[in-house]
Amino acid sequence: MTTKVKQRRFANVWDALEDNSAMAASMTMRSDILIVLQQRIATWRLTQAEAARRLQITQPRLNDLLRGRIAKFSLDTLVDLADRADIQIRLQIEKAA
């Protein structure tokens, strides 16, 4: 007997993982900033200790960022780090579908 599985499409992985749309939006923004930060830091060609000093954080904290430990960073913290890395953040607001 074949069981029919209902398929759903999501805009991104966070919409699929989070029950709350506000949390999904926050996680989407956090992951977007985290990825850009990782890319920027890679262009610096510095040691982790030097990059951490540049961002004004500890080396273990930088390691968490580079390893993608997103749960350890609030949106506010990531925005602050992006500013220190000379990354300009813009928020785009759209009406929910």
Q: Which domains does the chain have, with CATH numbers?
A: 13-84 (1.10.260.40)
Q: What is the pTM of this model?
A: 0.79
Whether 55 contacts 85, CB under 8 Å: yes
- Mind listing the pLDDT tens digit for each residue in 23-50? 788 888 999 999 999 999 999 999 999 9
The alpha carbon of residue 87 and the mean position of all alpha carbons in its chain are separated, in whole angstroms, by 13
How confident is the model over 43-81, as pLDDT tens digits? 999 999 999 999 999 999 999 999 999 999 999 999 999
Buried b (16+ CB within 10 A) or exposed e, 53-77: eebebeeebbebbbeeebeebeeee
pLDDT at 82: 98
- Produce one character per residue of 7-30: b if its CB has 16 or more CB atoms within 10 Å, e if not: eeeeeeebeeeeeeeeebbebbbb
pLDDT for 88: 96
